[in-house]
Amino acid sequence: MQFFAGVFLLILTLSVTIKARKCPEECSCDDTKLTVACVGKNLTEIPLGVDEITVKLDLKNNNFQMLPRGAFLHTPYLTQLSLQRCSIIKVKEGAFRGLGRVVYLNLAYNKIDILYQESLDGLSSLKELHLDHNHIEEIQPGAFIQLGFLSMLALTHNHLVYIPNMAFQGLQNIKWLRLSYNSLNNLAPEAFTGLFTLSRLSLDHNELQFFPTLTMMRLPEVKRLELSFNPMTYLGEESVLMGKLTHLYLDHMSLQDLSDQAFSQARLLSHVDLGHNQLRYLEPLSGPTKLDVLNLTGNPIYCNCYMRPLKDWTTIGGVRLLGACAGPPHLSDEPLQGVTSLDLRCRSNDEEEEEQKNNENTTATAKPRQTVKCPLNCECDTEAHHATCESRGYNKVPRGFSPRTQLLDLRGNHFHFIPSSSFPGTGQVVSLHLEFCKIHEIEGGAFQGMRNLLYLYLSDNDLMSLEAKTFAGVPQLTYLHLEGNRLTQFPGAALSLVPNLFVLHLERNAISKLEPAGLLSSAAPKLMELYLSNNTISNIAKGALSFALIKTFHLDSNQLTEVPADALTDVPHLEELNLSQNSVRWVGPRTFQGISQSLQRLYMDQMGIEKMSTEALLGLGPGLKVLTVRGNQLKELPDLTALTGLEMIDMRDNPLVCDCALLPLRRWMESVNLEVSATCGHPLGLRGQQVGDTNLFSTCPDNTTALAEAAAVGPRPVKIKSTRGKTRPEKLKLDKLPRGQHRRKAAKQKKAKYKKMKKANRGN
Ligand SMILES: *[C@@H]1O[C@H](CO)[C@@H](O)[C@H](O)[C@H]1NC(C)=O
Ligand SMILES: *[C@@H]1O[C@H](CO)[C@@H](O)[C@H](O)[C@H]1NC(C)=O
Ligand SMILES: *[C@@H]1O[C@H](CO)[C@@H](O)[C@H](O)[C@H]1NC(C)=O
Ligand SMILES: *[C@@H]1O[C@H](CO)[C@@H](O)[C@H](O)[C@H]1NC(C)=O
Ligand SMILES: *[C@@H]1O[C@H](CO)[C@@H](O)[C@H](O)[C@H]1NC(C)=O
Ligand SMILES: *[C@@H]1O[C@H](CO)[C@@H](O)[C@H](O)[C@H]1NC(C)=O
């Protein structure tokens, strides 16, 4: 190698001494460094006559418009090529062919709009590629396929809206991918698949409204993720499934709430930036054990007793807590790090009111309050952009809110009827509360103009139907609460105006059937969660559930007499199904076949099930994590053999017949290393005893004959070996509640938290 390099240098020196190197007249050439610069010459074509031996070519600030095929074939030794600010619109396929040594290519500040499949072919050694500040709106599949050595790709300041599946295929050594300052609002689930070496991903200054959980799951090595300046309002439970992530930037978003379980699957997080959001309060974060810094700078944190758990948690864990209190007045601007747990108090209402009065007095004299637009009797918090007129006896929607209001709370008034255009000048409102307002009718276009509305709470009113134009003018609506009304039909027609709907709550209404005529598929193409608990549904027609993407479906407390197996074939991505508290006596074979590929949690408690076919669960496999059949009339169980992935199973309160036929179940329970709850109902002598109790089966013959006999009488023998080999990891039992419990816990906490926040709001 060295020998050849020596020979090469020798030849080089000879050629240089023999004749001066070529240098185009518009350029300046350095013969010793082998560089050529033709900068700012308004060139329209790549200059001819650049010496073949050149290693560094600087062509910035020219006017090439187009790079033709084979444009650099004459300079095969180039290692660095600068083409920024050259008005390049199009890079023809094969433009860089022959540049197998280039490690640095700068194409920034041009006008490229499409990256064609072969635009970058030939750059097989490239390490750094600058494509920032262009007009790229499309990346064709395979555009980067030949860049196996690229470690940094800059695509910032372009016009990307969507990243399709496998867009970056071929980047086998990529470390840092920069997609900041685009208009990304959607990332396909496999957008980043194959980037096994990526450790840093910059997605700040885009339009992402949700944390792209699925997409990010495919990035096993990412340690640093920048998502600042995206319009996310909420981060749900287990949003961040990134096991190696250490640095997460979520500042300058619109977060109003954050589940304490949001980071439960990102245990290595050490630095979390939540600065400049709208968080008033935060719970201790479950999951990260190595957190160093939690940055809450610029949030309207209300420092009362509800912040105490977080404070204690950060103190014990040595977490640096950055930010300051926004209230109550005596703690205003106090750094969170300096506030002690004892300072974080909630006093009785009287004291608090007293204090508020005092304060009003002092502020009134010391510095007059900023005058803010705020209707009579309402409270408007300018800093947090919240306005509340809760339970103020209004019978018409009040007007005159600040146009910057983001949260508008009008619950507990008596509006009865909401006429069209009831909310003028509220284009910034993200969240609108109208619970408990005795509303029985909403005129079409009532919310017209609320173009940023994401959350609409219409729970606990008297609505019997919704007219088709109800949600005209709120195209962003994502979370809709209609629970606790008197709707008799699924409001399919009204939903067709809110194509971004993600979560729909319809619990506690009077819906009795679901029919295809409800236009469901066209109504809510993005719907992920549908809650229909506690209606009177007795029939779900096939074709009624054509929600392509739905993952969570609650049908509990209805009047179903059979599991709607046919209709369920229309929701092939369903992960959670709650059927509890219906009256279904018999569950036939292969009932869940249609959703067997996706189903993870199945709840069938208190349904009066007397018998399940041995093959009732056929089709379900290791994907099923939770199964509950508590409080039924089951004497025996279906075949559970294939459910090797269960994390929780609840069979309590069934009159199981505890004879040797149940031995396989007992064995299976041992083998899965789970807490399995099952009690005997028969024979009488054993009633109430745990199936897991060792004595029950001590007299059973412990051999294969017995198992075969058992198979003949009761549930099919469980292949013990198949599960024993795969005992659940201990941690599931020790430090992780099964998912179902998480959810319930989270729901409970959420309720508690909501109450707290309400209180805290009042305290303000
Ligand atoms: C650059 O070249 C284009 C076309 O060749 C010409 O129209 C333009 O005036 C030139 N600009 C300058 C600054 O010379
Ligand atoms: C915390 O956030 C503020 C505001 O976003 C920022 O200026 C500061 O540098 C952050 N501090 C740390 C340690 O990250
Ligand atoms: C508030 O101000 C009024 C008049 O300005 C005064 O009479 C009253 O004593 C003050 N109250 C307190 C608690 O300072
Ligand atoms: C169903 O709704 C009724 C009436 O609103 C309520 O009393 C009952 O508790 C609800 N049941 C469940 C399981 O939510
Ligand atoms: C399923 O429905 C039952 C009955 O309404 C309810 O008690 C239970 O909490 C629900 N489970 C989940 C996980 O939603
Ligand atoms: C299996 O059990 C049966 C009866 O319960 C018994 O007759 C037989 O000897 C046992 N076989 C073995 C190999 O233990």
Question: 350 is written with which tokens?
Answer: 């009287």
Does the Cβ of 606 fall within 6 Å of ligand 5?
no
Q: Which of 506, 508, 556, 560 to mutate to test the pocket of ligand 5 (most atoms within 8 A of CB)?
A: 556
pLDDT band for position 649 (cuts 50, 70, 90): confident
Contacts of 483 (CB under 8 A, 6+ apart): 459, 460, 505, 506, 507, 508, 509, 531
Ligand minimally distant from the alpha carbon of residue 708:
6
The answer to whether 246-344 and 404-488 have equal CATH topology is yes
Nearest-CA residue for ligand 6 atom 2 is 701
Task: Look at residue 125 in the predicted model and tell me its pLDDT.
Answer: 95
Ligand minimally distant from the alpha carbon of residue 324:
2
Contact, 195 vs 219, CB < 8 A?
A: yes
Q: Which of 247, 250, 270, 273 to mutate to test the pocket of ligand 2 (most atoms within 8 A of CB)?
A: 273
- Each residue's pLDDT tens digit, 372-381: 688 888 988 8
Compute the distance between CA of residue 285 and CA of residue 237 in angstroms, rounded to an integer.
11
Give the number of other CB atoms < 10 A from CB of residue 490. 26
Q: Which of 482, 533, 534 to mutate to test the pocket of ligand 4 (most atoms within 8 A of CB)?
A: 534
Residue-range domain boundaries for the chain: 246-344, 404-488, 710-763
For the domain with range 246-344, which CATH number is right: 3.40.30.10, 3.30.365.10, 3.80.10.10, 3.30.110.70? 3.80.10.10
How far away, in angstroms, is 556 Cα from ligand 5 center?
Answer: 7
The C-alpha angle with vertex 594 and arms to 592 and 596, in degrees rounded to 5, equals 60
- Each residue's pLDDT tens digit, 74-91: 999 999 999 999 999 999
Contacts of 505 (CB under 8 A, 6+ apart): 459, 480, 481, 482, 483, 531
pLDDT band for position 702 (cuts 50, 70, 90): low
How far away, in angstroms, is 361 Cα from ligand 3 center?
Answer: 6
Compute the distance between CA of residue 234 and CA of residue 254 in angstroms, rounded to an integer.
8
What is the average pLDDT across 665-682?
73
Query: Does 644 score more than 60 pLDDT?
Result: yes
Give the number of other CB atoms < 10 A from CB of residue 564. 23
Query: Does 535 score more than 60 pLDDT?
Result: yes
Comparing 384 with 10, the larger pLDDT belongs to 384
Q: SS3 string of 439-497?
A: CCEECCCCCCCCCCCCEEECCCCCCCCCCCCCCCCCCCCCEEECCCCCCCCCCHHHHCC
Q: Which residues of 152-175 are buried (b: 16+ CB within 10 A; e: fewer)?
A: bbbbbbbebebbeebbbbbbeebb
Does the Cβ of 459 fall within 6 Å of ligand 4?
no
Task: Look at residue 347 in the predicted model and tell me its pLDDT.
Answer: 60
Task: Look at residue 281 in the predicted model and tell me its pLDDT.
Answer: 87
- Each residue's pLDDT tens digit, 443-467: 999 999 999 898 899 999 999 999 9
H-assigned helices in 589-686: 663-672
Query: Does 283 score more than 80 pLDDT?
Result: yes
Burial label, 115 (beta-carbon count in 10 A; 0-12, 13-18, 19+): buried
Place of tokens 């991918």: 177
How far away, in angstroms, is 711 Cα from ligand 6 center?
Answer: 16
Q: Which atom of ligand 6 is nearest to the CA of 701?
A: 5
Task: Look at residue 523 in the predicted model and tell me its pLDDT.
Answer: 67
Q: Which of 705, 707, 709, 713 to mutate to test the pocket of ligand 6 (most atoms within 8 A of CB)?
A: 705
List the one residue out of 631, 700, 633 whose CA is nearest residue 665.
700
Query: Does 419 score more than 90 pLDDT?
Result: yes
Task: Look at residue 675 in the predicted model and tell me its pLDDT.
Answer: 63
pLDDT band for position 522 (cuts 50, 70, 90): low
Comparing 563 with 237, the larger pLDDT belongs to 563
Query: Does 206 score more than 50 pLDDT?
Result: yes
The pair phi, psi for residue 235, each rounded to 5°, is -125, 110
Task: Tell me: cis bond preceding 715? Omega within 30 of 0 counts.
Answer: no
Give me the amino acid identity at 363.
T
Tell me which of 27-41, 186-200, 277-291, 349-363 is least confident.
Answer: 349-363
Ligand minimally distant from the alpha carbon of residue 248:
2
Residue 678 CA from chain centroid, whole number: 36
Question: 420 is written with which tokens?
Answer: 């069209």
Query: Does 518 score more than 80 pLDDT?
Result: no
How far away, in angstroms, is 383 Cα from ligand 3 center?
Answer: 26
Contact, 68 vs 95, CB < 8 A?
A: yes
Contact, 301 vs 278, CB < 8 A?
A: no
Q: Which atom of ligand 2 is nearest to the CA of 295?
A: 1
Q: Which atom of ligand 4 is nearest to the CA of 581?
A: 13
Nearest-CA residue for ligand 3 atom 3 is 361
Task: Look at residue 86 in the predicted model and tell me its pLDDT.
Answer: 95
Task: Look at residue 724 in the predicted model and tell me its pLDDT.
Answer: 27
Compute the distance between CA of residue 508 and CA of residue 604 in angstroms, rounded to an integer.
19
Task: Look at residue 673 in the predicted model and tell me its pLDDT.
Answer: 60
Task: Look at residue 230 in the predicted model and tell me its pLDDT.
Answer: 92
Q: SS3 string of 366-431?
A: HCCCCCCCCCCCCEEECCCCEEECCCCCCCCCCCCCCCCCCEEECCCCCCCEECCCCCCCCCCCCE
First-to-last CA distance in the chain?
75
CATH 3.30.230.10 given to domain 404-488: no
Ligand minimally distant from the alpha carbon of residue 704:
6
Compute the distance between CA of residue 724 and CA of residue 718 in angstroms, rounded to an integer.
11
Q: Which of 249, 295, 296 to mutate to test the pocket of ligand 2 (most atoms within 8 A of CB)?
A: 295
Does the Cβ of 743 fall within 6 Å of ligand 5?
yes
What is the average pLDDT across 295-316?
89
Does the Cβ of 362 fall within 6 Å of ligand 3?
no
Question: 388 is written with which tokens?
Answer: 């509340």
List the one residue out of 174, 149, 66, 152 whose CA is nearest residue 106.
152
Ligand minimally distant from the alpha carbon of residue 578:
5
Contact, 593 vs 568, CB < 8 A?
A: no
| Partners of 138 in beta bridges | 114
- Each residue's pLDDT tens digit, 24-77: 988 999 988 999 999 999 999 999 889 999 999 999 999 999 999 999 999 999
Tell me what the pLDDT averaged over the chain comes to: 83
Q: Which atom of ligand 1 is nearest to the CA of 42?
A: 1
- pTM beyond 0.85: the answer is no
Query: Does 739 score more than 70 pLDDT?
Result: no
Residues with CB under 6 A from ligand 6: 701, 703, 705-706
Place of tokens 């189903």: 599
Query: Does 152 score more than 90 pLDDT?
Result: yes
**Would strands 35-37 and 28-30 be described as parallel, antiparallel, or unpaired?**
antiparallel
Compute the distance between CA of residue 170 and CA of residue 153 in angstroms, rounded to an integer.
13
> Which residue pairs, CB below 8 angstroms and at least 24 apart, start in 640-646?
640/665, 640/668, 640/715, 640/718, 641/668, 641/716, 641/718, 641/719, 641/722, 641/723, 642/617, 642/618, 643/617, 644/672, 644/722, 644/723, 644/726, 645/621, 646/672, 646/674
Ligand minimally distant from the alpha carbon of residue 606:
5
Task: Look at residue 549 in the predicted model and tell me its pLDDT.
Answer: 82
Does the Cβ of 505 fall within 6 Å of ligand 4?
no
Query: Does 753 score more than 60 pLDDT?
Result: no
Does the Cβ of 556 fall within 6 Å of ligand 5?
yes
